[in-house]
Structure 1
């Protein structure tokens, strides 16, 4: 603590501010010790538990933000001294109630089952066979790449990079562009779709477009798909729920930054909203005291 105090003095902080910082860091350090961690080792999820601890003690949102401000400074100091590589609460601010994101999510096995359950060989009429194969590709992009309706509408044939085994997702006003790997079975589906099926659909629709999934002005394909896959799993609600499930499952496999990239989120706080922790029903703190992007 003496080194940190010296650091604050060199930075020109007022005496009262230094004492406040020292007090907040001391309280935080004691809490970390009780919870079998340290300020050097603590991660974002455990920081959320500390925020919940502060709320249980009756601190107002304004007070919690003040305490977090002191801790942000302390984490910056730890980074500058090479004790840490990151600031786990860099983007965290308490600004009100967030809508629930972590409700009735689908497990990875349930998501994959939606893809494998989707039937494409039950139609005798040729056009319906083609549309069902197209729809199964879209189901794959929903459950494996976590795309939303706007992503699907913006896709062009050139975005499917079969030579790289990836698909490029263009950015929008609200999302970043990214490249995501395709599953081997998706690549086989895409080869058939781009090489044969898509041209048949264009012919039937009497249109010429570079859209990967030609649909006219309104992209209503997903609505019909959701209605059908709901028969396989009644938990399915909509494409947003599927995307939330995919992102939440990514967070159990990858770190925040990689998940942010895969999801196309512009801000890390958007990705943090999907963090889950079974201990003490932690999604309560995510819903009620989570940073607004």
Structure 2
């Protein structure tokens, strides 16, 4: 079998056995395809079963000159997973990346926006267009519910339980969770549904998709990124932001206002609370306030 055959088999495993999303599978596959390109460019004819540690080290060294340590670590992790799968299926006995060290990347703190900056983004949306009402509802939902962009574009009308003030979200690995939804977010969703979406010619297969493009189909991830970046330019926001910035801001603002990490973890759909802990990057003033408010000896007399 050639590389493509093994890759397709691996993709099926990721989808069926591990229940990973299409985007995650594409990211895993991209790392393997990058290795294949390296082999082609260097006239190295070798199968995934035969490739050894030395060849993989050459590839990693080549990659290290082009990408930052964080991207390099992701590529190593992706390839380790692929070769671990080949071992699992008894195609080979060892993992050629077993002894390759992952570069230290540190913990990157997420970018966030202030409440005022969020308000400015939403206020900058042109509501004179049909897309404006849709975009306002989407931005409000991204921020108000802390969604991933993939969760937003796949949100279904049947996932809305507005009478109970919840929406059902299908996250990574097809894991579902219920997220509270505020009155203002509900109002903007209803305005979009009642005044704009009802006039869109919905294409077959997208009847239940909440947010649609002009052609009546599901929006792409790239389109959401473009909408957010255009709003940042319009408001002269001197920050590099993405839809994920709104998710980070959602978690940070909840934490700053007294929400506990466990509740935030459940709303974000993090499998481990250690992932949620990255949001504890607040300024010292706030942390001092937390100590002064909640520490049991905050009122103890000095002796």
Q: Give the count of matched residue pairs.
A: 177
Please name the residue that 1:151 is paired with.
151
1:142 CA displacement = 1.9
- Partner residue of 1:107? 114
2:242 equivalent to 1:238: yes
> Would the alpha carbon gap of residues 164 and 238 (structure 1) be closer, same or farther in structure 2, given more than 3 Å must change?
same
| Higher RCO, 1 vs 2 (CA within 8 Å, ≥6 residues apart) | 1
Deviation at 1:234, TM superposition (A): 3.3
1:195-232 Cα deviation digits (max 9, x unpaired): 3422322x1x6444121113348443302311321112
Contact 2:170 2:176 (C-alpha < 8 Å) held by counterparts? yes
Quote the residue 1:119 is aligned against. 126
- Deviation of 1:136 (Å): 0.8
The two structures have a TM-score, normalised by structure 1, of 0.53
Partner deviation per Cα, 1:41-78 (whole Å, 9 max, x = no partner): xxxxxxxxxxxxxxxxxxxxxxxxxxxxxxxxxxxxxx
Aligned to 1:130: 130
1:119–1:132 Cα contact (<8 Å) kept: yes
CA contact (8 A) 2:228 2:241 kept: yes
Contact 1:157-1:211 at 8 Å conserved across structures? yes
Q: How does 1:43-192 map to 2 (within 5 A)?
A: 97-103=105-111, 105-121=112-128, 129-173=129-173, 176-192=175-191
More moved, 256-265 vs 225-234: 225-234
- Per-residue deviation at 1:133? 0.8
**Are the structure 2 counterparts of residues 248 and 96 from structure 1 closer, same or farther at C-alpha, using a change threshold of 3 Å?**
farther
Cα distance in 1, alignment partners of residues 184 and 224 from structure 2: 21
Tell me how far apart the structure 2 counterparts of residues 182 and 216 of structure 1 sit (CA, whole Å): 22
Structure 2: where are the runs of 5+ without partners? 1-102, 288-303
Aligned mates of 1:158, 1:243 — CA distance in 2: 23
Match runs of 1:222-261 below 5 Å: 222-230=224-232, 231-232=234-235, 233-252=237-256, 253-261=258-266
- Deviation at residue 107 of structure 1 after TM alignment: 1.4
In the other structure, the counterpart of 2:209 is 211
Please, what TM-score do these two structures have when normalized by structure 2? 0.52
